[in-house]
Amino acid sequence: MKPTATLATAARVLRQILHDPRTIALLVVVPSLLIGLMAWLFDTTPVFAQVGPAMLALFPFIVMFLVTSISTLRERRSGTLERLLTLPLRRLDIILGYALAFGVAAIVQAGVAVGFAIYVCGLDVEGSLWLLLGVAVLDAILGTTLGLLASAFARTEFQVVQFMPALVFPQVLLGGVFLPRDQLPDVLRSISDWLPLSHAIDALNAIARGTEDIGGDLLIVAAFALGAVLLGALTLRRRTP
Amino acid sequence: MVNSQAAVLIEDLRVRRDKHEVLHGIDLRVPPGAVVGVLGPSGGGKSTLLRAIVGVQIVQSGRVDVLGLPAGSAALRSRVAYMTQGTSVYDDLTVRQNLAYFRAILGVARSEVDRVIEATDLGDVADSLVETLSGGQRSRVSLAGALLGSPELLVLDEPTVGLDPVLRGELWRLFRTLAAGGVTLLVSSHVMDEAARCDRLLLLREGEILADDTPAGLLESTGGVDTEDAFLRLIERATTDVRGVS
Ligand SMILES: Nc1ncnc2c1ncn2[C@@H]1O[C@H](COP(=O)(O)OP(=O)(O)OP(=O)(O)O)[C@@H](O)[C@H]1O
Ligand SMILES: [Mg+2]
Q: What is the pLDDT of residues B101-142, one digit of tens each?
A: 999 999 999 999 999 999 999 999 999 999 999 988 999 999
Average pLDDT over residues A217-231: 94
Q: What is the CA radius of gyration of chain A?
A: 18
Q: Which of B204, B237, B203, B241 is nearest to B223 (CA)?
A: B237
Q: Mean pLDDT, chain A, as a whole number?
A: 90
Q: Check whether A2 has a pLDDT greater than 70.
A: no
Cα–Cα distance for residue pair A65/B76, rounded to 1 Å: 35
In one-letter notation, the amino acid at residue A89 is: L
Would residue A92 count as lying in a domain? Answer: yes
What number is the average pLDDT over the span B152-180? 91
A155 touches chain B (CB under 8 A): no
Measured in angstroms, how far is the CA atom of residue A174 from the centroid of ligand 2? 49
Residue B2 pLDDT greater than 50, yes or no = no
Answer yes or no: is pLDDT of A130 > 70: yes
Task: Inform me whether the C-beta atom of residue A3 falls under 8 Å from chain B C-beta atoms.
Answer: no
Rounded to the nearest 10 degrees, what angle do helices B135-147 and B111-119 cross at?
130
Torsion sign, CA atoms B197, B202, B203, B205: negative
Query: Which of A15-19, B92-96, B160-164 has the lowest average pLDDT?
Result: B160-164
- Average the pLDDT over A53-71 and give the result: 90
Spatial contact of A207 and A135, defined as CB atoms under 8 Å apart: yes
Distance A145 CA to ligand 1 centre (A): 33
pLDDT at B111: 96
Counting residues of chain A whose pLDDT is more than 90, the rounded percentage is 57
Q: What is the pLDDT of residue A155?
A: 83
Residues of A with Cβ-Cβ distance to B17 under 8 angstroms: 241
pLDDT tens profile A75-109: 988 899 999 999 999 999 999 999 999 999 999 99
Structure confidence by residue, pLDDT tens digits, B52-61: 999 999 999 9
Please report which confidence band the pLDDT of residue B246 belongs to, taking 50, 70 and 90 as the band edges: very low
Span A145-160, mean pLDDT? 87
Ligand 1: residue whose CA is nearest its atom 16: B45
pLDDT value of position B230: 85
Q: Are A60 and A140 in contact (CB under 8 A)?
A: yes
Is 90 exceeded by the pLDDT of residue B223?
no
Residue of chain A nearest B17, judged by CA positions:
A241
Kindly report the average pLDDT of chain B as a whole number. Answer: 90
Is residue A240 included in any domain, yes or no?
A: no
Pairs of residues, one from chain A and one from chain B, whose beta carbons lie less than 8 Å apart: 78
Question: Are B224 and B230 a contacting pair, CB within 8 Å?
Answer: yes
All residues of chain B having their beta carbon less than 8 Å from the beta carbon of residue A238 are: 55-56, 72
B227-233 long-range Cβ contacts below 8 angstroms, 24+ apart: B227/B192, B227/B193, B227/B195, B227/B196, B227/B201, B228/B192, B228/B193, B228/B195, B231/B39, B231/B40, B231/B192, B231/B203
Q: Burial letters for B178-193: b for 16+ Cβ neighbours within 10 Å, e otherwise?
A: bbeeebbbbbbbeebe
Ligand with the closest atom to the CA of B48: 1
Dihedral sign of CA atoms A82, A88, A94, A100 in order:
negative
User: In the prediction, which pLDDT does B242 show?
Assistant: 64
End-to-end CA distance of chain A: 28
Ligand 1 contacts (CB < 6 A) are B 17-18, 22, 40, 42-48, 85
Nearest CA in chain B to A14: B93
pLDDT of A101: 94
Number of structural domains (chain A) is 1
Asked whether residue A116 is assigned to any structural domain, the reply reads: yes
Strands B208-213 and B200-205: antiparallel
Residues A14, A31: Cα–Cα separation, whole Å: 19
Going from the Cα of B206 to the center of ligand 1, the distance in angstroms, rounded, reads 10
- Asked if residues A19 and B90 have their Cβ atoms less than 8 Å apart, the reply is no
**For B6-56, how does the pLDDT look when each residue is reduced to its tens digit (9 = 90+)?**
899 999 999 999 889 999 999 999 999 999 999 988 999 999 999 999 999
State mean pLDDT over A186-200: 93
A10: Cβ contacts below 8 Å, ≥ 6 apart: A96, A97, A98, A100, A101, A104
Confidence of residue B245 (pLDDT cuts 50, 70, 90): low
CB-based burial label for A166 (10 Å; 0-12, 13-18, 19+): exposed
Residue B37 near residue B194 (C-beta atoms within 8 A): yes
ipTM: 0.89
- Report how far residue A37's alpha carbon sits from residue A29's, in angstroms, rounded to the nearest whole number: 12
Quote the CA–CA distance of A69 and A221 in Å, as a whole number.
19
Residue B90 confidence (pLDDT) above 70: yes
Residue B4 has pLDDT above 60, yes or no: no
In chain B, residues with a C-beta closer than 8 Å to the C-beta of A4 are: 104-105, 107
Kindly state whether residue A220 falls inside one of the protein's structural domains. Answer: yes
Instruction: Quote the Cα angle for A38-A42-A46, to 5°.
Output: 120
A136 within a domain of the structure (yes/no)? yes
| SS3 assignment for chain B | CCCCCCCEEEEEEEEEECCEEEEEEEEEEECCCCEEEEECCCCCCHHHHHHHHHCCECCCEEEEEECCEECCCHHHCCCEEEECCCCCCCCCCEHHHHHHHHHHHHCCCCHHHHHHHHHCCCHHHCCCEHHHCCHHHHHHHHHHHHHCCCCCEEEEECCCCCCCHHHHHHHHHHHHHHHHCCCEEEEECCCHHHHHHCCEEEEEECCEEEEEECHHHHHHHHCCCCHHHHHHHHHHHHHHHHHHHC
Q: Looking at the domain assignment, is residue A69 inside a domain?
A: yes
Domain residues for the domain of A133 are: 3-235
Q: How crowded is the C-beta side of B115, counted as CA atoms within 13 Å?
A: 12
* Strand pairing class (B35-39; B200-205): parallel
Query: Which pLDDT does position B244 carry in this prediction?
Result: 55
User: Touching check for A225 and chain B: CB below 8 Å?
Assistant: no
Torsion of CA A16, A19, A21, A23, to 10 degrees: -10
pLDDT for B228: 82
- Measured between CA atoms, how close is A104 to chain B, in angstroms? 19
Residue A84 belongs to a domain = yes
A208 assigned to some structural domain:
yes
